[in-house]
Structure 1
Amino acid sequence: MNKPIPYPELDDEPVEKFEDIDASLTYSYSNYLKWLFDDRVELIKGKVFKMSPAPSRIHQEIFGRIFRRIGNFLENQSCKVYGAPFDVRFPKESIDDKAIFTVLQPDICVICDKTKLDDRGCVGAPDLVVEILSPGNNKKELLYKYQIYEEFGVREYWVVSQSDQSILIYTLQEGKFYPSKIFTLSEKVTSSVLPGFELLLDDVFTE
């Protein structure tokens, strides 16, 4: 995607309906804050991506199992875990709202640097991001997210597939993501970001 170009002439009035968003324009976090519709969206380099409707029951169960285990592990530790909806802003040159063009809502993220946290979410890359794939996930959207997480320095990125009952982990090394093997049932995953943490896949995908 090309570098976003701000549109100073954009109307800063609140937007009531998603249908009033002009897909040809480039939007910033400042615009995003004025959207009053209920549809969940993400910004990727100024372009609006509508998120899937309410996640499926299976998606929610997988989310809950991973979130609880990470949360229990981090109890009384400095790192914090958050679940969607939770805005993560990725500033390129400035943290000013009008200069931020990428705002994502990872399913789960872990932030260890508390200076990145404010009342509206996180400013800057989380240390760990977990995305749970659903049948409705847009492949182009997933590619853009991968590129954003790599570019901005997410240290570890988990891709959880509910259909394959598997987890693939990308670890950042010298600015590039390197994939792990694909972990499946009967195996466990660990995390370079959370030393000592273990997650059994049988516990994640149990029915």
Structure 2
Amino acid sequence: MEKEKTKAIVKEPDLSYGHYSYADYLAWEMEEVVELIKGKIFKRAAAAPSRIHQRLAGDLYTELNLFLKGKQCQAYIAPFDVRLPVKSTKNEKIHTVVQPDICVVCDLGKLDDRGCIGAPDLVIEVLSPGNKQLELQHKYEVYEESGVKEYWLMDALGQTLLIYTLVGGRYQSSRLMTCGDTAKSTAVVAFELDLATFFADIK
């Protein structure tokens, strides 16, 4: 769906300005994929993600989507806007809009035609050379603060997985998992992923 234009089109907003809102975001017309974190613009890499990144994200989304058939929760794959309001859901009061590689939303009341407003239950980010700092620092913080119950950080090249689980408002990390381990989700009950089998198909 084409973004609603709430202001005059701005092709290149000032990246040094750190007080943008979702209302501003809706008015931008940029070739690059951008995310808004606490009012500051973050551009994703200009080039398309690597083939392995896309294959892994696509395969994992397929696994989740098949598992969730007939269940309450729904899985979405990027590009998909997730708005993370702090106090107000008004466009001009929302200062964080991200596009996780994959997310699962169980409270369907959070979904609208523009994406998701509020924290998904599960967020999965696939690391690539161009996005590691963004995922490891800035997104970790906003996912934790906004109440994302579970955050998977998957390294396509290293074939590893870390799971962060929200406990008492803070993330607790699993050990680093790899082939031979089975990832088990607490946010998406009963979903399991055999990493040896999963990564064996990623070539």
Q: TM-score, normalised by structure 1?
A: 0.90
Please identify, of 99-108 and 141-150, the stretch whose mean Cα deviation from structure 2 is larger. 141-150
Task: Give the corresponding residue for 1:48.
Answer: 41
C-alpha distance in structure 1 between counterparts of 2:15 and 2:184, whole Å: 43
1:31 matched to 2:42? The reply is no
C-alpha distance in structure 1 between counterparts of 2:24 and 2:92, whole Å: 8
Secondary structure of 2:187's counterpart equals coil
- Give the percent of matched residue pairs that are identical in Structure 1 and Structure 2: 48
Q: Deviations over 1:71-127 (max 9, x none)?
A: 000001110000000000011111000000000000000000011000000000000
C-alpha distance in structure 2 between counterparts of 1:183 and 1:34, whole Å: 41
Q: 1:139 to 1:64 in 2, by over 3 A?
A: same
2:164 pairs with one of 164, 167, 170: 170
Give the 4+ runs in structure 1 shifted more than 3 A: none
For structure 2, the 5+ residue unaligned runs are 1-6
Task: Give the corresponding residue for 1:100.
Answer: 94
What is the CA distance between 1:22 and its match in structure 2? 4.2
Q: Provide the aligned C-alpha RMSD in A.
A: 1.5
Contact 2:160 2:177 in 1 (8 A): yes
Q: 1:187 to 1:126 in 2, by over 3 A?
A: same
Task: Give the corresponding residue for 1:5.
Answer: none
1:118 matched to 2:103? The reply is no
C-alpha distance in structure 2 between counterparts of 1:153 and 1:76, whole Å: 25
- The alignment of Structure 1 onto Structure 2 pairs a total of residues equal to 195
Contact 2:181 2:195 in 1 (8 A): yes
Secondary structure of 2:175's counterpart equals strand
Contact 1:65 1:203 in 2 (8 A): no
C-alpha distance in structure 1 between counterparts of 2:153 and 2:143, whole Å: 12
C-alpha distance in structure 2 between counterparts of 1:71 and 1:102, whole Å: 26
Task: Give the corresponding residue for 1:15.
Answer: 10
Task: Give the corresponding residue for 2:128.
Answer: 134
Contact 2:185 2:191 in 1 (8 A): yes
C-alpha distance in structure 2 between counterparts of 1:141 and 1:32, whole Å: 20
Secondary structure of 1:49's counterpart equals strand
C-alpha distance in structure 1 between counterparts of 2:132 and 2:182, whole Å: 28
C-alpha distance in structure 1 between counterparts of 2:21 and 2:198, whole Å: 36
